[in-house]
Amino acid sequence: MPAAPVTSTLDNGLRVVVAPDHLVPAVAVEVWYDVGSRHEEPGRTGFAHLFEHLMFQGSRNVDGTGHFAAIQSVGGTLNGTTSFDRTNYFETVPTRAFELALWLEADRMGTLLDALDQPNLDNQRDVVKNERRQRYDNQPYGTAWEQLFTILFPVGHPYHHLPIGSMEHLDAASLDDAHRFFLTHYSPHNAVLSLAGDLSVEEGVEAAKRAFGGITGNPEPPAAPDGSIGPRDGTEVLSSDEVVPAASRYQTWRVPPDGHADHDALVVAFEVLAGGGASRLVRRAVRTEELAEAVSGGTFEMVGGVDVATLVARVRSGRDLDELGVVVDEEVARLAAEPPTDDEVVRAGERLRRDRLDTRATLMGRADDHARGVALFDDATWGDHAGDRLRAVTPERVSAAAATWLGPDHRAILDYRNVA
């Protein structure tokens, strides 16, 4: 078991979490900003993600591709991602270069606007539009979640749209939007710096002070919008006319977010239903009745007052989507009606424990996990303690949570029936 992470706060509000681990001579660095697509203004969907791209276009002391070039030149890896709830930037570098990674992160946190101009924005807008084409518009089922979230959440809800946003809104994004977005959200008060690897807590904190100490920023970043909302009232079914290789059903429910006791029970419920080869749906729908080519399910791990649970089932060729749908519905209903066996819950616990071991088997996995814990739960060990919370889930709690949250009348469903 690796050493526990230690969290402190700099004078400028930046929270710093350091987890020493000397197994490999490297340090993982993550900066987590508490801004994601749920914070976007009306008419500006996709902006948080477009802005993430702009963060790689240089800052006062770093030229256009200088951030990438600097990390690559020391043999490091890097990237950034934008989700519903947050934007994160990360590097894994040899120990000798971890201060360089901090310096690069600090330069853009402090001085991005010095380098941001219209040609950068226009170029990255084109890149992001091609990202959207590549990952969503030009893939079978690529827009499934986007379509589902428009009916799962009402207009105006922070999760009504996906982080990728719409082409129209990407076109509308202006340099002025980018300036305001940066000044509003990209502040040390709104960020967590997480370090994991070959350094001591003192080294990490001192280096953070040197790099980030001079940065000020919006001392009162806006609170995240409150997305609290109960289960959907009534089920809505969308039917896609997209031509697809196999009929499929994507179904979703609104469920409580991570941190709620029922969320833990639902995580176990989805292991029982669709976690691996011995789960109920794989056994019955894939292996025994051979109705499905694949079944998967789980939660998105969103935290803005609500999370999304999903089950996706794709039919075997020659089989019927409605017949598969009945089997899926029966298994969800059965779990809600009677508790799973002790053995099922034990196996689910072992699978989830294994997931934790995978997460913390890499420095980046740990840095990200600690950043999430500090940013969302004010506790760097939130993830490390997930196993305790999940092990406390009883079979009765699993069925009670399924009965409360996974009802047949609370769903948003998207069917694909137009098979090539």
CB of 364 vs other proteins, minimal distance in Å: 9
CA angle 137, 302, 19 (to 5 degrees): 110
Whichever of 359 and 400 has its CB closer to other proteins, that residue is 359
Q: Which one of the spans 256-264, 354-362, 377-385, 398-406 is the region binding other proteins (CB under 8 A)?
A: 354-362
Whichever of 25 and 408 has its CB closer to other proteins, that residue is 25
**Buried (b) or exposed (e) across 99-131, using 16+ Cβ within 10 A?**
bbbbbbbbbbbbbbbebbeeebbeebbeebbee
CB of 294 vs other proteins, minimal distance in Å: 8
Alpha carbon distance 134, 136 (integer Å): 6
Whichever of 72 and 200 has its CB closer to other proteins, that residue is 72
Phi, psi (deg, nearest 5) at residue 60: -55, -45
> Among 290, 322, 330, 378, which residue interacts with other proteins (rule: CB under 8 A)?
290
Whichever of 130 and 237 has its CB closer to other proteins, that residue is 130
> Among 29, 54, 100, 345, which residue interacts with other proteins (rule: CB under 8 A)?
100
Whichever of 261 and 278 has its CB closer to other proteins, that residue is 278
Whichever of 283 and 334 has its CB closer to other proteins, that residue is 283
Alpha carbon distance 58, 362 (integer Å): 28
> 139 Cβ partners below 8 Å, 6+ apart?
none
Q: Does 158 participate in binding other proteins (rule CB under 8 A)?
A: yes
Whichever of 71 and 332 has its CB closer to other proteins, that residue is 71
Which residues, numbered 201-220, are part of the site for other proteins (CB under 8 A)?
Answer: 210-211, 213-218, 220
| Residue found by looking up tokens 């203004």 in the block | 41
Q: Does 227 participate in binding other proteins (rule CB under 8 A)?
A: yes
Q: Does 4 participate in binding other proteins (rule CB under 8 A)?
A: no
Which residues, numbered 37-96, are part of the site for other proteins (CB under 8 A)?
Answer: 39-41, 56, 60-61, 64-65, 68-69, 72-77, 92-94, 96
Q: Does 245 participate in binding other proteins (rule CB under 8 A)?
A: yes
> What's the chain's length in residues?
420
Alpha carbon distance 416, 420 (integer Å): 11
Q: Does 385 participate in binding other proteins (rule CB under 8 A)?
A: no
CB of 133 vs other proteins, minimal distance in Å: 5
| Residue found by looking up tokens 């794709």 in the block | 314
CA angle 26, 36, 135 (to 5 degrees): 80
Alpha carbon distance 270, 231 (integer Å): 17
Q: Which one of the spans 106-114, 259-267, 373-381, 406-414 is the region binding other proteins (CB under 8 A)?
A: 106-114
Alpha carbon distance 223, 206 (integer Å): 29
> Among 346, 378, 396, 418, which residue interacts with other proteins (rule: CB under 8 A)?
346
Q: Does 241 participate in binding other proteins (rule CB under 8 A)?
A: no
> 17 Cβ partners below 8 Å, 6+ apart?
5, 6, 7, 192, 193, 194, 195, 370, 371, 373, 374, 380
327 sits in which H/E element: helix 321-337
Number of chain residues interacting with other proteins (CB under 8 A): 107
Phi, psi (deg, nearest 5) at residue 279: -75, 160
CB of 179 vs other proteins, minimal distance in Å: 9
Whichever of 119 and 234 has its CB closer to other proteins, that residue is 119
> Among 6, 175, 229, 400, which residue interacts with other proteins (rule: CB under 8 A)?
229
